Structure 1
Amino acid sequence: MHDSGHDEGMNGRGESAGGVHNDLGGTVEGTSVQVGVVHGGIHLAASTSRAQQPWQLPPVGALVDRVADLEALQLFLRQAEDVGGPAWVVITGLGGVGKTVLALSWLHRLRGDFPDGQLYVDLGSQSPGGPVAPAQALGSLLRGLGVPAASVPGNDEERMALYRSLTTHRKLVVMLDDAFSAAQVRPLLAGGRTVTVVTSRWQLPGLALDGCSALRLEPLEVGAAVALLAATVGEDRVGAEPEQARCLVGLCAQLPLAVRLVGARLASRPDRSITAMVRVLGEERGRLDALGLQGDHTVRATLDVSYGGLPPHAGRLYRLLALQPGTEFGLSAILSATGDIVRHDGRTMESLETLLDANLLSEGGDQRYRFHDLVRLHATVRSREEPAGSRSAAIRRIFDYYLASATRAEEVLDPHHRSLPRDFGPGPTACEEFADDSAALDWLERELPNMMAVVAQAHGLGLPRVSWQLADAMWPLFTRRKHYEQWRVAHREGLTAARESGDPAAECRMLTSGGLGELDTGGHGQALEMFSDAAELFRRTGDRLGVARATNYRGLALLGLGRLDEAATAFRQAAADCPRYGDARAGGLARLNLAEVALATDAHTEAVAQASTAYRILVDEGDPYNAARATTVLGHAALALGRLDQAARHFTQGLATLRRVGARFEVGRVLEALAQLAEACHELSLARTRYEEALACYEELRVPAAERVRAHLVRLAQAGDG
């Protein structure tokens, strides 16, 4: 809510103006005239008077938060004063983020230090008639400085020279609001000891070459946005519904303009609860419309004018990027949306820069891009202008990029996993390439939110096979990085999609892979049911190898339920049947599971035998990850048998491989085992170090094992105190 502030009057000092340009290329300095060759009559403009000092800045309401931004502006001012030059600052950011309010608030505060006046020009970058021309803006500034309209030079260069002459010896501030380009602003930069602040939706990088400092304004923090809402609707209403108030400003994406608009709507409806407004704005499809306020600006209008100023190709990119499944995306995903992944004709990159300059898109590190939440909604609305065929083709290309790249990562990380086909559209299909396991795993983790969005959306868009195939391709990420909730959700969605596709093999894969995720989260009963359903489906389709694999999985669920004898029986059956039906590696995994049962029943010699056999099979089958797991089982057995040196060798060997493949959970387990080994050797300091390293792994993954390790550390600390 704005104050009813007003500008103060003139100070009445009648000192001489700096100089007024004449028709002959000279300047008037006080009462003297300096000219070149005189031809004909001399026409002198009347000198200006300090009695005509401008105080043009519009009033501004209270500024909420922005402490750090104000400090940054003050720093820019001090730096300029240190070198004795003008301070030129460009404040950029999304429309409605509060650029103008920040600039006005700061410049009003500087009034005491800049007593010669305040100039203000709206450069109208988004006005229906187009941006204000530099010559027109210069004329306005000169008139503000007291130059009569009839005496304003007609030549652009002369106007610029006169403006700089008149500002050279003055301490004044200038605000150039809503600039369109660096070329529009450059002639308007005042000299001397002035302060010029430019606001723009565009980043105007060209002004940096002229010495302008830049400040990008971000949306408010949640607390500050709530304070802004309270200033509009009243502290009592916000205090009565604090959580809903936080939710409401979140729906506004903490944009000051949006918060003020919904606050004004609430203020005009004293009987409406904040909860009711949250419900209105919660309907994403209509959120931008709901933010409208009769007779005032709207978020949609703010975004519409930015969109309307885009060149056609940039406008198309804006619409297509709204089809991205997640909130942050990389360059390859952008090129996939446009189909330029093969052509590389440069138009997409040019349009991308245009969107960045317009602040319709934000750039992070490593060529990552994202929409502000409300911009994404606006782009989504505008995407409906794209022809249906173009939209569908772009969506398929984007989805295929994630599917192809995840599949490539799967091949690098776990070449034994995929036995099911992948289906792609007509293309072109982009695909990432990975130098090693670490790069593949990092890509999967970075793109996890986008891939989860594809899994969820593909089914509803008539692409169910993409849904289950992508869930399947993410398998190495789930097994190594333990994103349990995403694991569960992806396979639940994938199972529905596989059943809709009428694909029994895909259905079985979703049941077994999803069941393994349930095992990791303690859902052994649910996992057993899923594995049993898969086994029955394999039997009905005559897939004997599938039955054998499902038997191994059933053994894992039985092991988790404490039914050790039944688990051992299932593992022995799988160890015999899997190689018989063509999967020696699965047989090796079954033997590894038998070794785990032997450890649990203190049959340590049996554990060594089974783990050794499993290790040889898995090495022969080219499975270093599970071979390393077999090595750690050998380490546990050796530790239990008191063979400490042997245990240390096994654990160290396994740890090196598990670290190399990025298996953080398994790394944590080995570090925990090394801590136990250190305790057995009475090396308590080393034990604490190993437990702390294990705890870091578990805390990063947010797994229950962290509590167990914390208990060990407490025990060691108490032992040390004793």
Structure 2
Amino acid sequence: MRGDERSGRNDVSGTVHGPAVQAGAVYGGIHIEGAAGPGDGRAPWQLPPSVPITDREAEQGALERHRERAEREGHAALVAVSGLGGVGKTAVTLAWLHSLRPRFPGGQLYADLGAQSPAGPAGPDEVLSRFLRALGVPAAQVPATIAERAALYRSLTAERRLVVLLDDAATAAQVRPLLPGGRSVTAVTSRWRMPGLTVDGCYALHLEPLGPEAAVELLAAVLADDRVATQPREARALVELCAGLPLAVRVAGARLAARPRRRLTTMVRALSEEHDRLEALAIDGDHNVGAALDLSYQGLPSGVARLYRLLGLHPGREFGAAVASAALAADATELLETLHDANLLIDAGEDRYRFHDLVRLHAAAKAEADESAADRATALRRIADHYLATATRAEEIVDPQHRTMPRDYGPVVTAEFPETPEGALDWLERELPNLMAVIRRARPAGFPEVAWQLADALWPLFLRRKFYEQWRAAHAEGLAAAEELGDERAACRMLTSGGMGELGLGSHERALEMFERAAGIFEARGDALGYARTLNYRGLAHQRLGRLDGAAELYARAAEALPACGDRRAGALARLNLADVALGRGLPEEAAGDADAAYTALLEAGDTYNAARAATLLGRAHLDRGLLDEAESRLSGALATLRGMAAGYETARALESLARLAERRGQPGLALGRYREALDLYAAAGRADSADARAVRTRVERLERAAPD
């Protein structure tokens, strides 16, 4: 029973592309043969490249001894590497993990968990979605809930020899769902020690800053000339001012490397003179990292320095080159390369960058100091408009009928992505942390309209890929923004779209409250069409709550009111929902009449997807009436249409009905095959525990018991 003015449903499976491994109810182990996942046959190799390190042999030896002990004892290896920001946690861990590649052919997974991100740490549900896709699970088949994602992840990794790096973790609770199955190696890096992981057999390694000799060796490697050898005293003074932190040594070294004729004494004197200015960037009272960053900043060309400052305003963890161009209002490609060469940006791959967290703080401080409040606000708005404009373009590609309200953005630089529904959804998912960060930042920054409009643009992603927690958070902030603006239409959109997310989360009472609140606003405004649409929404909530009489009454009112207000398609969806309720109440003749009327109207409106759904309901009604030939004709036609659209959940419903038909005709083998396929599709759509799936599972078990040995 799914009614929605945009798509006609509130829980829609995404598009399925390519082969997939699907699981319904699983009893016992799942074994995936070979090194690659169930998708394209290739193992993921996601680890970032390693960088030279010095004097970390003891730490790497300790990590390797723990791994070898875990191997002998027959269990997975889990390590946590902690220490100050800039101490080299990720560099040491990467060097060790890269050395393991020959022993772990199942691949490498990597996630930046963003403990220091202004947008907040990455959610395990988001990371699991990316890991599953890297392991070959099509995006449309990633389960909806974190528990289902974690279970599928453990199943897919049970027989792999896999390496996983969870970088910049915030808590043990954030890490635990991301631990793979089998005998994999998982490394966690964090600024904090993580005693909570000891219960999982974790080996904890805390990194201290480099000693003077090792830091001097690192400086020599960065400079790649003879200055350290010819000026040993100055080199030692320089690394001491860097507090032994590899980040500070590298930044200072990069600055010197760009000036091969400059003596180390000049850098030592400059650091000594400036380190007291950087209280805000101190690490446990140490000012020297900030001084090194300040010196690097001062040596940048003016245009590069301005880009550096403006990127400090970016609210998310990672950004693409198009964001930089939007912030600067000019092509930033070459300037980004200069920042990268100066070790002030980290190459995140695929034309994307991120700051080390200390560098980001420095860039933000420089923006505060060197840009006017008006210029900072303008640049931040350009960044927000970039995301809003690109998300709107993605929305148009995936769901061209959705956007019915204006979007407020001027001429902006937009990101490029494959202009297909799958490509657009992939972009929205990849940028979701940044999009959420912009939504949270928009209202305090003075442009609340961006918050609700961006939440609205994310509708196709939320509907198809089931990021329910982000769905809830985005619409809550969007609603607050709409209310701050006094924009009742926007508030109603946030209430109805947000309420659909609450239905997906199982919060049916909360969804009903939101729909009823929207209905009250529409009624007070005299908006008959808006009010009529809420009848369908409210019917959905009543149906989910088991109040079939109330749902039927609301759907009947919607079926009458919506065409009268000029929306025949929405009225047909109400008739479709009425048919579903009638079937649930054991009234197949009534269901057949409503389903047939809905089918005709939806075809006339060009909505082939929902017309196929109506055909499924009509076939089920014929089946319940004993009209088997008519049922087969309707169900087979619906199945062909839905398969062509890769609509997993609705395909499963059609298959389930055809399986029942096969049972009625005395074909248990055919029925069992169709039931099993339906179960796989329910699981792929994240509905493995739904009432529909449970009913199918019961029928499968009955047929399996009755089958001859």
Class of the TM-score when normalised by the shorter of the 2 chains: 0.5 to 0.7
Distance 1:622 1:460 in 2: 43
Contact 1:423–1:466 (Cα < 8 Å) also in 2? yes
SS of alignment partner, residue 555 of structure 1: helix
After superposition, residues 281-680 of structure 1 pair within 5 angstroms as 289=281, 291-294=283-286, 298=289, 300=290, 303-304=293-294, 307-340=297-330, 344=331, 348-364=332-348, 366-384=350-368, 385-425=370-410, 427-428=411-412, 430=414, 435-641=419-625, 650=634, 653-654=637-638, 665-666=649-650, 669-670=653-654
1:414-469 deviation digits (Å, cap 9, x = unpaired) = 333332222124x3353767633333333333332222222221111111111111
Q: Shift of the alpha carbon at 1:356? A: 3.3
**Which residue matches 1:62?**
58
1:506-554 deviation digits (Å, cap 9, x = unpaired) = 1111112222222222222222222222111111111111111112222
Which residue identity is paired with 1:424?
Y
Q: Shift of the alpha carbon at 1:675? A: 6.0
Distance 2:94 2:535 in 1: 69
Distance 1:377 1:243 in 2: 34
Q: Shift of the alpha carbon at 1:503? A: 0.9
Q: Shift of the alpha carbon at 1:387? A: 3.1
Q: Shift of the alpha carbon at 1:301? A: 5.1
* Cα distance change of structure 1 residues 471 and 661 upon mapping to structure 2, 3 Å threshold: farther
1:6-33 deviation digits (Å, cap 9, x = unpaired) = xxxxxxxxxxxxxxxxxxxxxxxxxxxx
Q: Shift of the alpha carbon at 1:392? A: 1.6
After superposition, residues 197-276 of structure 1 pair within 5 angstroms as 257=209
After superposition, residues 139-178 of structure 1 pair within 5 angstroms as none
Q: Shift of the alpha carbon at 1:608? A: 2.6
Which residue identity is paired with 1:483?
F
**Which residue matches 1:170?**
none
Note the residue ranges of structure 2 that are not aligned, 5 or more in a row.
1-52, 68-84, 97-164, 170-174, 176-185, 216-239, 245-277
Distance 1:715 1:373 in 2: 58
After superposition, residues 82-161 of structure 1 pair within 5 angstroms as 96-97=87-88
**Which residue matches 2:228?**
none
* Cα distance change of structure 1 residues 552 and 99 upon mapping to structure 2, 3 Å threshold: closer
Distance 1:570 1:398 in 2: 43
* Cα distance change of structure 1 residues 637 and 507 upon mapping to structure 2, 3 Å threshold: same
Q: Shift of the alpha carbon at 1:501? A: 0.5
Distance 1:356 1:655 in 2: 53
* Cα distance change of structure 1 residues 714 and 361 upon mapping to structure 2, 3 Å threshold: farther
**Which residue matches 2:680?**
693
After superposition, residues 170-189 of structure 1 pair within 5 angstroms as none
* Cα distance change of structure 1 residues 220 and 585 upon mapping to structure 2, 3 Å threshold: closer
Q: Shift of the alpha carbon at 1:623? A: 3.0
1:40-78 deviation digits (Å, cap 9, x = unpaired) = xxxxxxxxxxxxxxxxx997673246979xx9xxxxxxx
* Cα distance change of structure 1 residues 664 and 474 upon mapping to structure 2, 3 Å threshold: farther
Contact 2:658–2:671 (Cα < 8 Å) also in 1? no
* Cα distance change of structure 1 residues 318 and 445 upon mapping to structure 2, 3 Å threshold: same
Q: Shift of the alpha carbon at 1:349? A: 0.8
| Farther-moved stretch of structure 1 (668-677 vs 401-410) | 668-677
| Farther-moved stretch of structure 1 (525-534 vs 702-711) | 702-711
Distance 2:510 2:283 in 1: 45
1:635-672 deviation digits (Å, cap 9, x = unpaired) = 43344445566656655655565566665554555565
SS of alignment partner, residue 369 of structure 1: strand
Select the structure with the greater relative contact order (CA < 8 A; seq sep ≥ 6).
Answer: 2
Contact 1:548–1:574 (Cα < 8 Å) also in 2? yes
After superposition, residues 15-94 of structure 1 pair within 5 angstroms as 62-64=58-60
| Farther-moved stretch of structure 1 (583-592 vs 654-663) | 654-663
Which residue identity is paired with 2:318?
E
How many residues were matched structurally? 490
* Cα distance change of structure 1 residues 59 and 531 upon mapping to structure 2, 3 Å threshold: closer
| Farther-moved stretch of structure 1 (622-631 vs 534-543) | 622-631
Contact 1:219–1:255 (Cα < 8 Å) also in 2? no
1:583-642 deviation digits (Å, cap 9, x = unpaired) = 112111111111111121122232232223223322332334433432333343344445
Distance 2:617 2:380 in 1: 46
Q: Shift of the alpha carbon at 1:292? A: 3.4
Distance 1:556 1:538 in 2: 18
Distance 2:474 2:358 in 1: 27
Which residue identity is paired with 2:437?
A
| Farther-moved stretch of structure 1 (634-643 vs 702-711) | 702-711
Distance 2:462 2:293 in 1: 39
1:653-700 deviation digits (Å, cap 9, x = unpaired) = 555655666655545555655666666642266236514532541349
* Cα distance change of structure 1 residues 718 and 529 upon mapping to structure 2, 3 Å threshold: same
* Cα distance change of structure 1 residues 245 and 622 upon mapping to structure 2, 3 Å threshold: same
**Which residue matches 1:274?**
none
Which residue identity is paired with 1:403?
L
Distance 2:705 2:673 in 1: 16
Distance 1:676 1:321 in 2: 59
Q: Shift of the alpha carbon at 1:484? A: 1.7
Distance 2:381 2:462 in 1: 25
1:457-515 deviation digits (Å, cap 9, x = unpaired) = 11111111111111122222222222222222211111111111101111111112222
Contact 2:456–2:494 (Cα < 8 Å) also in 1? yes
Which residue identity is paired with 2:58?
A
SS of alignment partner, residue 407 of structure 1: helix
Distance 1:505 1:104 in 2: 54
1:179-213 deviation digits (Å, cap 9, x = unpaired) = xxxxxxxxxxxxxxxxxxxxxxxxxxxxxxxxxxx
Contact 2:512–2:538 (Cα < 8 Å) also in 1? yes
Contact 1:225–1:256 (Cα < 8 Å) also in 2? no
Contact 2:55–2:210 (Cα < 8 Å) also in 1? no
Distance 2:641 2:433 in 1: 28
Identity of aligned pairs, percent? 47
* Cα distance change of structure 1 residues 622 and 368 upon mapping to structure 2, 3 Å threshold: farther
